[in-house]
């Protein structure tokens, strides 16, 4: 008789424990589904932002009617990778003029990490071309400051605004070189 009572008690304890385990499992599955839903929403938003960036990078060059009228840049070429330009000309051009003169997209190196920014949309007689940059150049650093994120680009811009010499490390067709721009007062 005690065997049946022991078996009945063991079964009821096991059933109660099993019910608790199943309830906990259901709660965990609901929480996991909520997390997956949130992650999916985040991924979809990120995907939309990436697509927008890719569309803007692939957009055709602006028609002449939309191009920004910029002052003539007086560039003196000292060597293939060394130019001088009056600071006043660059100041007149302003940030907007430079932004409109070239398309810039992050570039990933062999390790899959961003190692700089690829330039495109540079026209033959544009300001950026006169400074020595070419379509396809990857700008890796300026004055030894790496440019691997937009935050680093903005930090470099703020820190180097008053510099007299800007030395850009670039990769052109897989070959590293430097481009020096002297800003004259």
DSSP state of 111: T
Mean pLDDT over 20-29 rounds to: 78
70-184, CATH topology level: Pdz3 Domain (2.30.42)
- Rounded to an integer, what distance in angstroms lies between the CA atom of residue 162 and that of residue 179? 18
Other C-beta atoms closer than 10 Å to the C-beta of 24 total 10
pLDDT of residue 57: 52
- Rounded to an integer, what distance in angstroms lies between the CA atom of residue 4 and that of residue 157? 83
- Average pLDDT over the chain reads 76
Question: What are the pLDDT digits (tens) for 84-134?
Answer: 888 777 776 666 666 677 888 899 989 999 999 999 988 877 778 888 899
Say if residue 7's pLDDT is above 50.
no
- Rounded to an integer, what distance in angstroms lies between the CA atom of residue 146 and that of residue 91? 24
Question: What are the pLDDT digits (tens) for 150-182?
Answer: 888 888 888 888 889 999 999 999 999 999 999
3-state secondary structure of 31: helix
| Domain ranges within the chain, ordered by starting residue | 1-59, 70-184
Other C-beta atoms closer than 10 Å to the C-beta of 86 total 16
Say if residue 65's pLDDT is above 60.
no
Q: Which residues pair with 107 in a beta bridge?
A: 116
Say if residue 3's pLDDT is above 50.
no
């Amino acid at each position: 008789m005690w065997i049946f009572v022991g078996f009945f008690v063991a079964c009821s304890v096991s059933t109660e424990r099993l019910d608790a385990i199943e309830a906990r499992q259901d709660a965990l599955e609901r929480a996991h589904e909520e997390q997956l839903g949130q992650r999916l929403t985040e991924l979809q938003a990120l995907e939309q932002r990436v697509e927008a960036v890719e569309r803007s990078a692939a957009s055709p060059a602006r028609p002449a009617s939309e191009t920004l009228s910029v002052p003539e840049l007086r560039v003196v070429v000292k060597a293939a990778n060394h130019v001088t330009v009056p600071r006043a000309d660059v100041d007149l051009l302003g940030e907007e003029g430079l932004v409109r003169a070239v398309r810039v997209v992050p570039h990933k190196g062999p390790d899959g990490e961003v190692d700089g920014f690829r330039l495109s949309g540079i026209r033959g007689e544009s300001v950026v071309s006169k400074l020595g940059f070419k379509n396809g150049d990857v700008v890796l650093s300026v004055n030894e400051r790496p440019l691997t994120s937009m935050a680093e680009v903005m930090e470099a811009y703020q820190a180097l605004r008053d510099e007299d010499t800007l030395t850009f490390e670039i990769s052109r067709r897989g070959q590293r070189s430097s481009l020096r721009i002297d800003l004259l007062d």
